[in-house]
Structure 1
Amino acid sequence: MSSVWEIGNLSVSQSNKIKDYLELPTVEEKLPAFLINGSEEGPKVLVLGGIHGCEYTSIDAAQKVGTDLIPSKVKGKVIVLPIANPASFYARSIYVHPRDQKNVNRMFPGKEDGTDAERLAYWLNEMVFKKVDYIIDLHGGDMIEALVPFTIYHVTEDERVIETSKQMASLFDIDYVIGSSGQVPGSTYGCAAEQGTPAIIAEAGQQGILSEEHSVQLQDGVKNILVSLELLEGEVKQSQSTYISVFDWYRSDFQGLWYPSVVIGQSVTKGQVLGKLTNEFGETVKEIISNTEGVVLFLVSSLAINDNDPLLAVGA
């Protein structure tokens, strides 16, 4: 008997694949989607790209994963949403949804009757997150961010979720794996983990530039996870990653100019000056001092900085 997989308005029969638009209630935009229903039963996996609309490498990677997967070679089910936030993508909107100026990746699990970003988060969680067993959310440096590739998993009280997520995060050919204890509230992976679903974010690519090299890095990592979950045949490739337990974010507390004094991948010491914020006359208003010893994982490259904008993050 054929097994049909349904996600919202989309359905696909066993051993088949469709590409169509996922419609979410009260969300204006339709989301391009690949639904792959494999030849045999197995886990259900979500691959996301484009939660942030200007992280182009992640969007390209997710799209190519969706294109490449062949139902006859899949044991299980995969849904790929390469442009999960079309409004931000087409508006070229950094960080936030263009209509409500809220960061979707801080809104989960969202609000059914909330603003645009909150409704998008709500319906993604209700209609997709809760229908799968594993979540792989692809990201990268936004249009004004430089970064070293890294992966993140959420440290929750569920040991099974922690261990599975950590293992998934370790399967990218990436140097740094971060166990985050909730420093980024409202995230995709944190929301999923708290609901009992192993989930990760993988970051590669930067500054609004489509990098083929980093896209392939993300694609290979996703496929390696699918092999580890036995959705695809093959040998799991292990990588030698550095595990990080502290993800120390620094933000601006006023509008001005940002002059970093470090670069991505640089090791820093506690008390070191990471950069300075100046007023519009070039006068230093504040120096940003490192709270920890660690490595600079991402760095905002924009001279213009607004109140509460991120500046950089140090992994320790």
Structure 2
Amino acid sequence: MGDTWKIANLSAAAEEKTKGRLELPSIEEKLPAFLANGSQEGPAVLVMGGIHGCEYTSIDAALKIGAALEPEKLKGKVAVLPIANPASFYARSIYVHPRDGKNLNRMFPGSEHGTDAERLAFWLNKAVFSEMDYIIDLHGGDMIEALVPFTIYHVTEDKGVQQASKEMASLFDIEYVIGSSGQVPGSTYGCAAERGIPAIIAEAGQQGILGKEESRVLQDGVWKILASIGVLEGGTEAGEKTDIAVFDWYRSDLQGLWYPEISIGERVAEGQLLGRLADEFGETVREVYSNTSGVVLFLVSSLAINPNDPLLAVGA
């Protein structure tokens, strides 16, 4: 029998599952959490959803995983934080924490005495990530984002961590697997990988809609990962993948209207027109052209656009 597993104020004895609210220093909200401590020793795994509060499919998937965990069948430990950013979830806040306007998934490893998102990132990293051997962060298209499912792992100098992360990312029934070389600074998976923890993001679902099929894709991928690392018994078969080495983001440099000329999943060529930015009278101010040939992985579907808002991303 293993020892009691403790994270902050929550604990689970061997062969026990605890359901409670995780309390982190200086964080106003309490995070709903499941802790499942297996009957045998093994890896500790974190599954998160809701880092972005309006990515509802990720939250649903994480909740269902947490509810379905059976500790007596685990060789190891699994923690699930289905709503990792409750302030954003209840405020229906797109991208950012409602009190400081900062994107939590750009704040890691955070700051102990920083703003709300910076402190939440700091304590998640210090109190939760530090207890884990693997991290799975579930995402999807935010309320104004159309999205083709994809997974991401961090390209790092530690090739063992990189390979383990890539193998995890490849276990979802999702075609596109991205090796990200720091294009998304301050992310959960990048922060974890740099401290030696294999970690990924898996994205499915879009536009503030709870997609049941997409939720099942995320759930099935997590179960396969748990089987692949020996936490559970089960199959780990993965289909053919398309490796993405370039994750090319496009952002607006102005306030106005966004008229995309392409669709998610569409293959585009270098130099192709991707969309137009217009003023409030509908006059084109800027045309956006592709820097590379590849596939459109996500696309902002909002007509209203602000400076530095993402517009889309092309994977090549």
Q: Same fold (TM over 0.5)?
A: yes
Task: Report the secondary structure of 2:57's partner residue.
Answer: helix
Q: Where does residue 27 of structure 2 map in the other structure?
A: 27
Q: TM-score with structure 1 length normalisation?
A: 0.99
Q: Where does residue 266 of structure 1 map in the other structure?
A: 266
CA shift digits 1:175-220 (9 cap, x unpaired): 1000000000000000001111000000000000000000000000
Q: Where does residue 54 of structure 1 map in the other structure?
A: 54
Which amino acid in 2 is paired with 1:301?
S
1:110 aligns with 2:126: no
CA shift, 1:232, in A, is 0.5
Task: Report the secondary structure of 1:192's partner residue.
Answer: helix
Q: Where does residue 151 of structure 2 map in the other structure?
A: 151
Aligned partners of 1:278 and 1:284: how far apart in 2? 4
- Number of equivalenced pairs: 316
Q: Where does residue 250 of structure 1 map in the other structure?
A: 250
Aligned partners of 1:234 and 1:197: how far apart in 2? 23
1:183 aligns with 2:172: no
CA shift digits 1:118-148 (9 cap, x unpaired): 0000000000011100000000000000000
Q: Where does residue 213 of structure 2 map in the other structure?
A: 213
CA shift, 1:2, in A, is 4.9
CA shift, 1:234, in A, is 1.2
Q: Where does residue 68 of structure 1 map in the other structure?
A: 68
Q: Contact conserved, 2:2 with 2:41, CA < 8 A, in 1?
A: no
Task: Report the secondary structure of 1:270's partner residue.
Answer: coil
Aligned partners of 2:61 and 2:258: how far apart in 1? 31
Q: How do 1:119-158 and structure 2 match up within 5 A?
A: 119-158=119-158
CA shift digits 1:146-178 (9 cap, x unpaired): 000000000010000110000000000001000
CA shift digits 1:73-112 (9 cap, x unpaired): 1110000000000000000000000000000000000000
Q: Contact conserved, 2:2 with 2:38, CA < 8 A, in 1?
A: no
1:7 aligns with 2:10: no
Which amino acid in 2 is paired with 1:140?
G
Aligned residues: CA RMSD: 0.6
Which amino acid in 2 is paired with 1:116?
D
Q: Contact conserved, 2:259 with 2:275, CA < 8 A, in 1?
A: yes
Q: How do 1:90-105 and structure 2 match up within 5 A?
A: 90-105=90-105
1:80 aligns with 2:47: no
Q: Which runs of 5+ in 2 are unaligned?
A: none
Q: Where does residue 196 of structure 1 map in the other structure?
A: 196
Aligned partners of 1:121 and 1:297: how far apart in 2? 26
Q: Where does residue 42 of structure 2 map in the other structure?
A: 42
Which amino acid in 2 is paired with 1:178?
I
CA shift digits 1:276-311 (9 cap, x unpaired): 000000110000000000000000000000000000
Which amino acid in 2 is paired with 1:170?
S
Q: Contact conserved, 2:21 with 2:30, CA < 8 A, in 1?
A: yes
Q: Which runs of 5+ in 1 are unaligned?
A: none
Task: Report the secondary structure of 1:96's partner residue.
Answer: coil
Q: Where does residue 297 of structure 1 map in the other structure?
A: 297
Which amino acid in 1 is paired with 2:232?
L
Which amino acid in 1 is paired with 2:150?
F
CA shift, 1:240, in A, is 1.0
Aligned partners of 2:230 and 2:239: how far apart in 1? 18
Which amino acid in 2 is paired with 1:5?
W
Aligned partners of 2:295 and 2:233: how far apart in 1? 36
CA shift, 1:37, in A, is 0.0
Which amino acid in 2 is paired with 1:314?
V
Aligned partners of 1:235 and 1:63: how far apart in 2? 22
Q: Contact conserved, 2:34 with 2:66, CA < 8 A, in 1?
A: yes
Task: Report the secondary structure of 1:109's partner residue.
Answer: coil
CA shift digits 1:49-74 (9 cap, x unpaired): 00000000000000000000101111
Aligned partners of 2:138 and 2:96: how far apart in 1? 17
Which amino acid in 1 is paired with 2:65?
V
Aligned partners of 1:168 and 1:303: how far apart in 2? 36
Aligned partners of 1:106 and 1:84: how far apart in 2? 14
Aligned partners of 1:235 and 1:96: how far apart in 2? 37
Aligned partners of 1:286 and 1:224: how far apart in 2? 45
Aligned partners of 1:305 and 1:283: how far apart in 2? 14
